[in-house]
Structure 1
Amino acid sequence: MDTSALPTKDRLIRAAAQLFRSRGYHGVGLNDLLAEATAPKGSLYHHFPNGKADLALAAATWASDEMLRVIAASFAGAKTFEDGATTLCFKLAKLFDLTGQQDGCPVGSTLFEGPGNAEFLRHAERCYEGWIEEVQDHANRFGLQEADARRRAEHVFLLIQGGWQLARARKSSEVLRGLPELFAHMPQAASGTGRN
């Protein structure tokens, strides 16, 4: 996607999200960020006073918001929770192929591979919790009770995170396309609310 028309701050955020996802936080220097964003020197600290650390938080937020949009789009036309989760897996498989099959989780690669400070870890938790809550909201919409919806949402999150890592190791998006077969083993509430 051509980002040249975007404001400098937005170009820096998107460049950082892409570079951190593919190289990890420590694999990216300030000159790399400025070159990828075609941003003038000095612009980084103008927009992000704490430099690379501030930019990493902004990049993780942007990437997390993109994931929230993918989740929402996956469930938008679904007839059941499982249909929405299946669509999500297929969308992520396509994204995996588009990114060259080696990129890590955009939040994890940025924040867990960063300086390891408490703010980075809190931010990662907020991003991941947002993804889980988005899936949980859709589970609730399909009539699952709160506790069951939460378990299903966490199960989807864990499958996708683990699936992405295994897909990277195998260099195959088929791992992600195969995740829906595991939905039959999703935890369900003892009350027998069952699958919708």
Structure 2
Amino acid sequence: MTSTRIKLATEASYLFQQKGYHGVGLSEILSHAGVPKGSLYHHFPNGKADLALAAADVASTEVLRIINAAFEPAKDYREGVTTFCHKLAKYFDIHDGNIGCPVSATLLGGQNDEVFRDTLDTIFTSWMDLLEAHAMRLGQSQDEAKKSAQRLFLSLEGSWTLARARRDSDVMRALPKLIC
């Protein structure tokens, strides 16, 4: 059974991805999660800001899971990149192209404070570190793997934005041919 805290964070994550931090009210999150208002402040004493941090953590955990699912069975780095990009494109399509980056939509569009920016930096670094580890496991040197991970991350962030603007997930599917 999903805990109320996880349910709130998960629903908030999807809503923040669709509408941004300021585009979603607490009553909408509570309605989607099907929980009373008291539950929010019980689990997130500082309200929306705490909930946004938890939502970003939930989304980041899912991205890390997708990275592993794409790269663990890969025979080489390019195959892992291709699978990862296709998985993200499918996720994008499931949400009809109306969804932003799972964490930047929440944290960059939220409070303009150091905690949000530091959390976002930590999350992005964890994604690149995992991509780098997979690249090294698949035969790249540490220096090459670090550059590959950064290139993929930066390219994905840009391709996600372009895919959203064009409402076309093929932008993400084309990425491996451009960067590998």
TM range (shorter): over 0.9
Write the letter of the residue equivalent to 2:142. Answer: E
Which of 95, 99, 108 is 1:112 aligned to? 108
TM-score by length of 1: 0.90
Shift of 1:142: 1.5
Query: Is the counterpart of residue 39 in structure 1 residue 38 in structure 2?
Result: no
1:59 is paired with a residue whose SS is helix
Aligned equivalents of 2:134, 2:125: Cα separation in 1: 14
Shift of 1:183: 2.3
Q: Could you list the runs of 5+ residues in structure 1 that have no partner in the other structure?
A: 185-196
Shift of 1:143: 2.0
Would you say how many aligned residue pairs link Structure 1 and Structure 2?
Answer: 180
Q: Is the 8 A contact 1:82 1:183 kept in 2?
A: no
Write the letter of the residue equivalent to 2:170. Answer: E
TM-score by length of 2: 0.98
Q: Specify the alignment match of 2:65 in structure 1.
A: 69
Q: Specify the alignment match of 1:145 in structure 2.
A: 141
Q: Is the 8 A contact 1:160 1:176 kept in 2?
A: yes
Aligned equivalents of 1:131, 1:171: Cα separation in 2: 25
Aligned equivalents of 1:80, 1:41: Cα separation in 2: 48
Write the letter of the residue equivalent to 1:118. Answer: E
Q: Could you list the runs of 5+ residues in structure 2 that have no partner in the other structure?
A: none
Which of 1 and 2 has greater Rg?
A: 1
Q: Specify the alignment match of 2:10 in structure 1.
A: 14
Runs of 4+ in 1 over 6 A off after TM superposition: none
Aligned equivalents of 1:92, 1:172: Cα separation in 2: 12
Which of 29, 44, 52 is 2:48 aligned to? 52
Which of 73, 88, 95 is 1:99 aligned to? 95
Percent sequence identity is 47
